[in-house]
Copies of this chain bind each other. A is one copy, B any other.
Amino acid sequence: MNKRGQETRTRIKTCACSLFAEKGFNQVTMKDICEASGLSRGGLYNHYESTRQIFQELLKDMQNNQARAFDQKIRQNQPATSILDDILEVYREEMLDGRSSLSLAFYEFFSIHQACGKENSLQEQYLLSVNTWKNLIQYGIDRQEFREVDTDAIIDLLLFSYQGVRMYSKLMPVDKEIPSRILGEIKKQLVRSDSDGNHI
Residues on A close to B: CB < 8 A?
Answer: 24, 26-27, 104, 107-108, 110-111, 114, 120, 122-123, 126, 150, 152-154, 156-157, 159-165, 167-168, 170-173, 177-178, 181-182, 184-186, 189
Of A26, A163, A164, A165, most B-chain CB atoms within 10 Å: A164
Given contacts A160-B182, A164-B164, contact A172 B120 (CB under 8 A): yes
Task: List residues of chain B with CB within 8 A of the CB of A153.
Answer: 181-182, 184-185
Of A154, A160, A189, most B-chain CB atoms within 10 Å: A160
Chain A, interface SS category: helix
Given contacts A24-B111, A164-B167, contact A157 B172 (CB under 8 A): no
Complex CA gap A126/B161 in Å reads: 14
Complex CA gap A107/B177 in Å reads: 22
Given contacts A111-B170, A122-B171, A170-B111, contact A181 B160 (CB under 8 A): no
Complex CA gap A154/B189 in Å reads: 12
Q: How far is the CB of A143 from chain B (nearest CB, A)?
A: 23
Q: Which 4 A-B pairs have the closest CB atoms?
A: A160-B164, A164-B164, A163-B164, A161-B161
Q: How far is the CB of A130 from chain B (nearest CB, A)?
A: 10
Q: Name the one of B107, B108, B167, B172 contacting A123, with C-beta atoms under 8 angstroms.
A: B172
